[in-house]
Amino acid sequence: MKFLHANSDRLIAILCILPSLIAVGIFVYAFIGWTIWSSLLKWNDMMPLRSIWPFPDNITLFPPNAPFAGLDNYYRLIFTDARFQQDIQNTILFTVLFIASSLFLGMFLAVLLDQRIRGEALFRAIYIFPMSVSFIVTGVMWRWILNPGTAQTGAIGVNQILEIIGLGFLKNGWYTDPAIGIKAVVIAATWQMAGYTMAMYLAALRAIPDELREAARVDGATEWQVFRYIILPLLNPVTLSAVIVLGHISLKIFDLISAMTGPGAGFSTDVPAYYMFDTVFRGNHFARGASIATLLLLMVSVLVVPYLIYNARTEVQR
Amino acid sequence: MSQSRRRMIVVLGVMTVFMLVLSACGTATAAPKTQVEVFSWWTTGGEAAGLQKLMDQFNAENPKYEVINAAVAGGAGSNAKAVLKTRMLGGDPPDSFQVHMGHELIDTWVTTDYMEPLDDVYSKYGLNDVFPQGVLDIVSYNGHPWSVPVNIHRANVLWFNKSVMEANGIDTATLSTFDGWQAAAEKLKAAGIAPLALGDNGPWAAVHLFEVVAAGTLGADKYKGLWDGTTDWAGADVTAALENFTMMLGYVNSDHAALSWDQANQLVIDGKAAMTIMGDWVDGDYVAKKFTGFGWASPPGTKGIYDALSDTFGLPKKAKQAEATKMFLGVLGSKQGQEAFNILKGSICARKDCDYSKFDAYLQSSAADWSKDAIVPSLAHGAAASEGWTTSITDVIAAFVTSQDVAAAQAGLVQACKDAGICK
């Protein structure tokens, strides 16, 4: 009797997760499969989708009847496509700078707020507010703030401020200058996400028991030593989580680029996701776009999978 | 679960269904007219006003229907095209949509069997007799016409600020060769004026300049040969075209990457730049900004060449209101419709029999050239090459504007032609 009971429990459990299993199976894994399949075809022009048995002929859900291309689309992207190579460089530069600046600024703000100053709630809200804005809004805003202005308008935005405070020699073309390019976008992205890392760090700082600091101080440690040898090591898990979250945002970034700069002069602000959009919807290069999507998935996996494994292990240990 | 709670859920469910039914009734009674959805990227200025004129004309003649403009903003239609593609592939096409005449229509939608042929529209409204043969050739594929062109634009026009040219003693007749152009540009540069205004914030503007330089360097026949594979992309004259392009890029305004074409044109209006090479929608921009001190000439080497593009409208296979759409296409092709539209849009009629007496001086001269020049298709505006090929060339040119590496760009152009399946 007990055995039967356990079995029906399990049945109900399976029934309960079945809908989401099916939905995830179709809308995540089947679509990934569809994309990889497309990326292996010679499908770089408009072609009608096709039907596959057992679906009726008018249900055309599958990639077209294009010749098999093997890994040619990938090979061409990685080894001969100057735009894609530039995109990868941009992505690496963007990811490194964006993560570094968000972590640094976030930690700095969190440490300041942790001093239990007056009006802390207000400052916390101000710093975290940008995160509630969408990347499109951020992009449009910073497009204007960092707009170098033209011959008719004179200097506007940041350039105008620099001019007014007598630092006119710092004026430059920002995102329109190929030498700066993606670094200007880092400023906007950091503005948006630094508050988020601040919140994570602040929570972690508050979780550190005061006894630890007190003990260190009793042992004669300076405030800097307390921070360096007590606080910082205890923040490591948060840093790791923040790197994962920021990292996968920066690898997939599209909306901010699209609203703020587009591909930029000489593709200086182009990223793989933008190239994917451009090449599929403007150029009808569906297979090339699918290959870029697959490469992006691989890049994000390299970042996220070790983290998931690490997390799973520590959960088990607990 | 208690009885009352269960009852509550049933009541809520019934109410939800009831509300859905109600809201459905609401929309049905609010719109007694059958809507015909026309999809375009014309949202502002003369072009939107012109389209509105055509829609008003149709709506007045056909009280049963109401044509609506489902527009998605964005230069040269880049955003609209993405929306259109997802709708077409998803089996939910608009009743008609704006598409550039030529390969953009044929290669993307006709060869893939997404369009209805328009033979009956052409015969019913007598369009076969009123469009020039050159236009009929470009809108046809396999012997059927596939879209109705409403206008013709010219891509190869060099616009200049008259007073700047006079003040620097430049005879604009010398601009017709690359050497003469360069000599004039040197003079202007020495006077502290940007010789050529370019706004390639949207990379198509750089492609536009490149195609005009290519047509000027290669001449009409060899330029046309680029698009069917008879002119060798690896050849010396393409190298020469890229070198001329490099020469011209040496004289552009330094902030070109930050500007759009109309902001670049503003430099010419303000006298900060002397010239710009852009399509004849610049004329409409001058009219809108009430600037009269401009003149126009053929860009170097393109005298006698008419680099043409056209906006056309077609009928997708799964359109819901096919009959009404055909009537609307008839209005688009009519003399009255084309005259009303093109005066506002600032382009010439695709028809041969328009009355140009009410058009401005530039459009009259353009209409005169249209009837005698060699017509070549525009690359940046969809007439010359498939969208895939055009996008590949755009990538090469956008990189070239920064790097100015002629050999790499030419290799990229050769590869793009191979990828398009035109070159071996």
Strand partners, B148: B313
Residue A68: what are its φ and ψ, rounded to 5°? -70, 130
Kindly give, in sequence order, each residue whose CB lies less than 8 Å from that of residue B110, ignoring residues fewer than 6 positions away: B141, B146
Asked if B267 is an interface residue toward chain A (Cβ–Cβ < 8 A), one would say yes
Q: Is A208 among the domain residues?
A: yes
Does this chain's domain B34-153+310-365 share its CATH topology with B154-308+379-419? yes
Comparing CB atoms, the residue among A262, A279, A284 nearest residue B108 is A284
Mean pLDDT across chain A, nearest whole number? 90
- Is A176's Cβ below 8 Å from some Cβ in B? yes
Q: For residue A231, is it within any domain?
A: yes
* Min Cα separation A132/chain B (Å): 26
Chain B residues in contact with A177 by the CB 8 A cut-off are 257
DSSP H helices in chain A: 2-24, 31-39, 72-75, 82-113, 120-128, 135-145, 157-164, 182-207, 210-218, 223-226, 232-252, 255-260, 272-281, 286-317
* Any domain includes A3: no
Residues of A in contact with B115 (CB under 8 A): none
Indicate whether A45 pLDDT > 60: yes
- pLDDT at residue B137, rounded to an integer: 86
Q: Does residue A24 or residue B47 have the better pLDDT?
A: A24
Distance CA A38, CA A292 (A): 11
User: Under CATH, which architecture does the B34-153+310-365 domain have?
Assistant: 3-Layer(aba) Sandwich (3.40)
Q: In what order do the strands lie in the sheet with B34-40?
A: B65-71, B34-40, B96-100, B311-314, B147-149
- Which residue in the set B113, B388, B421 is minimally distant from A285, CB to CB? B388
Sketch the domain layout of chain B as residue ranges: 34-153+310-365, 154-308+379-419
d(CA A131, CA A198): 11
Closest CA to B317 of A230, A58, A54, A250: A58
- The stretch A149-178 carries a mean pLDDT of 82
Shortest alpha-carbon distance between residue A202 and chain B (Å): 40
Q: Which domain holds residue A227?
A: 81-317
Q: Which two tokens stand for residue B4?
A: 């009352």
Chain B residue numbers touching A266 (CB-CB < 8 A) = 398-399, 401-403
Q: For A284, which of B266, B387, B398 is closest by C-beta distance? A: B387
CA of A86: which chain B residue's CA is closest?
A: B399
In chain B, which residue's Cα lies nearest the Cα of A174? Answer: B258
Q: Taking Cα atoms as reference points, which of B61, B60, B79 lies closest to residue B70?
A: B79
User: What sign results for the dihedral spanned by CA atoms B265, B270, B273, B274?
Assistant: positive
| % of chain A at pLDDT higher than 90 | 59
The 10s digit of each residue's pLDDT in A179-204 is 888 999 999 999 999 999 999 999 99
User: Chain B residues with CB inside 8 Å of A148's CB?
Assistant: 255, 258
Most A CBs within 10 Å: which of B92, B113, B387, as the mutation test of the A interface?
Answer: B387
Query: Do the Cβ atoms of A151 and B78 come within 8 Å?
Result: no
If pLDDT is split at 50, 70 and 90, which confidence band does A27 have? Answer: very high
Beta strand B147-149 pairing with B157-161: unpaired
Percent of chain A with pLDDT over 70: 96
> Looking at the complex, does the CB of residue B73 fall below 8 Å from at least one CB of chain A?
no
Q: Can you tell me the distance from the alpha carbon of B269 to that of A76, in angstroms, rounded to the nearest whole number?
A: 45
Q: Does A282 touch chain B (CB under 8 A)?
A: yes
Q: Do B391 and A285 touch (CB under 8 A)?
A: yes
Q: Which of B314, B371, B368, B363 is nearest to B339 (CA)?
A: B363
Q: Rounded to a whole number, what is the distance in Å from the CA of B110 to chain A's nearest CA?
A: 10
Neighboring chain B residues of A277 at a CB cutoff of 8 Å = 82
Task: Say whether residue A66 is in contact with chain B using an 8 A CB cutoff.
Answer: no
Nearest CA distance, A140 vs chain B (angstrom): 14
Position of tokens 């429990």?
A: A9
Residue with tokens 């009123």: B130
Q: Do B257 and A83 touch (CB under 8 A)?
A: no
In a domain, residue A262? The reply is yes
The residues of chain B scoring below 70 in pLDDT are 1-31, 73-78
Whether A155 shows a pLDDT value over 70: the answer reads: yes
Contacts of B77 in chain A (CB under 8 A): none
Does A276 have pLDDT greater than 60?
Answer: yes
Q: What is the CATH number of the domain that holds A151?
A: 1.10.3720.10
CB contact under 8 A, A279 and B408: no
- List, as ranges, residues 83-102 from A with C-beta within 8 Å of B: 83, 86
Q: Which of B196, B395, B402, B422 to mutate to test the interface with A (most CBs of A within 10 A)?
A: B395
Answer whether residue A50 is part of any domain: no
- Cross-strand bridge partners of residue B86: none
> Which pLDDT score, from 0 to 100, does residue B25 have?
46
Cross-chain residue pair A283–B270, CB shorter than 8 Å: no
- Which residue type occupies A317? Q
Residue A150's pLDDT band (boundaries 50, 70, 90)?
A: low
Residue B137 CB: number of other CB atoms within 10 A? 12
Nearest chain A residue to B83 by CA: give it. Answer: A281
Kindly determine whether residue B258 and residue A147, on different chains, have CB atoms separated by under 8 Å: yes
DSSP per-residue codes, A50-64:
B--TTS-TT---B--
Give domain status of residue A48, yes or no: no
- Inter-chain contact B387–A147, Cβ cutoff 8 Å? no
| Integer Cα distance of B364 and B292 in angstroms | 16
Name the closest residue on chain B to residue A258, using Cα atoms: B79
Nearest Cβ partner for A47 among B112, B201, B258: B112
Nearest chain A alpha carbon to B86: A281
Residues in Cβ contact with B227 at an 8 Å cutoff, skipping those fewer than 6 apart:
B103, B377, B379, B384, B385, B422
Cβ within 8 Å, pair B82-A281: yes
Per-residue pLDDT, B26: 45
Chain A positions in Cβ-Cβ contact with residue B263 (cut-off 8 Å)? 150
Q: How much is the pLDDT for B3?
A: 61
Please count the structural domains in chain A.
Answer: 1
Under a CB-based contact definition with an 8 Å cutoff, are residues B339 and B348 in contact?
Answer: no
Contact B398 A176 (CB under 8 A): no
* ipTM surpassing 0.95: no
Report the alpha-carbon distance of residue A239 to residue A231 in Å, rounded: 12
For A150, name the nearest residue in chain B, comparing CA atoms only: B255
Chain A residue nearest residue B271, CA to CA: A152
Residues B367, B351: Cα–Cα separation, whole Å: 11
Query: Class of B154-308+379-419 per CATH?
Result: alpha beta
Partners of A280 in the β-ladder: none
